[in-house]
Amino acid sequence: MKKYLCILKKSPFFQGMTDEEILSILQCVDARYRSVKNGEYIFQIGDHTTEMGLVLSGSLLAVQEDLWGRRNIITKINAGDFFGEPYAATPGSVLNVSVVACEDCEILMLNVSRLLTVCPTACTHHNRLIRNLVSVLAGKVLLFNEKVSHMSKRTTREKLLSYLSSESIKQGKRSFFIPFDRQQLADYLCVERAAMSAELSKLKKEGLLNTSRNYFELYTQKE
Residue 193 CB contacts under 8 Å (≥ 6 apart), including other chains? 182, 183, 186
Q: What is the DSSP string of 144-194?
A: HHHHHHHHTSSSHHHHHHHHHHHHHHHHTSSEEE-S--HHHHHHHHT--HH
Q: Which of 54, 48, 29 is nearest to 96 (CA)?
A: 48
pLDDT at 130: 80
pLDDT at 222: 55
| Statement: residue 119 has pLDDT above 70 | no
pLDDT at 141: 83
pLDDT at 123: 65
pLDDT at 51: 92
pLDDT at 139: 81
Maximum pairwise Cα distance, the chain: 64
In this predicted model, what pLDDT tens digit does every residue of 54-113 receive, in sequence order? 999 999 999 998 777 788 999 999 998 889 988 888 888 899 899 999 999 999 999 887
Average pLDDT over residues 156-167: 96
pLDDT at 174: 95
Burial of 61 (0-12, 13-18, 19+ CB in 10 A): buried
Average pLDDT over residues 189-209: 95
Query: Is residue 101 a contact partner of residue 40, using CB atoms and an 8 Å limit?
Result: yes
pLDDT at 120: 60
Three-state secondary structure string covering 23-37: HHHHHHCCCEEEEEC
Query: Is residue 108 a contact partner of residue 56, using CB atoms and an 8 Å limit?
Result: yes
What are the φ and ψ backbone dihedral angles of 216, each rounded to 5 degrees? -135, 145
Average pLDDT over residues 182-211: 95
Torsion sign, CA atoms 8, 13, 18, 22: negative
Q: What is the DSSP string of 127-144?
A: HHHHHHHHHHHHHHHHHH
In this predicted model, what pLDDT tens digit does every residue of 22-57 receive, in sequence order? 888 888 888 899 999 999 999 999 999 989 999 999
